[in-house]
Amino acid sequence: NAGVTQTPKFQVLKTGQSMTLQCAQDMNHEYMSWYRQDPGMGLRLIHYSVGAGITDQGEVPNGYNVSRSTTEDFPLRLLSAAPSQTSVYFCASRRGRQGMTYEQYFGPGTRLTVT
């Protein structure tokens, strides 16, 4: 298993540009999510999905879109990049079954700089 993969590893954008961060998992996990990590703030949830075709907002969704057309893929789109979106982005996935608590697996991260 490759686990959770993310591309690209690094990206520099100019203000106003758009781009898509890719995330894929090969563990057949129902739940996938995107976090951003900023110094001194831990990880904050941007968007999540509990299955193909179902997405919902997390704590900091503004400026980001997601879709989940397949179980494996969960791309994150930045619509019009702003310097405040400079961050490290992590994709994660886990199983989801009522009554059970499962480990969340994280990708290696994408370091994004917006100038």
Determine which residue in the list 8, 16, 51, 83 makes contact with other proteins, applying CB under 8 A.
Answer: 51
27 binding other proteins? (CB under 8 A): no
Q: Rounded CA gap, 5 and 107, in Å?
A: 5
Query: CB atoms < 10 A from the CB of 47, how many?
Result: 23
Angstrom CA distances, 56 to 33, 48, 88, stand at 10, 6, 21
Determine which residue in the list 7, 108, 113, 115 makes contact with other proteins, applying CB under 8 A.
Answer: 108
> How many residues sit in the footprint of other proteins (CB under 8 A)?
28
98 binding other proteins? (CB under 8 A): yes
34 binding other proteins? (CB under 8 A): no
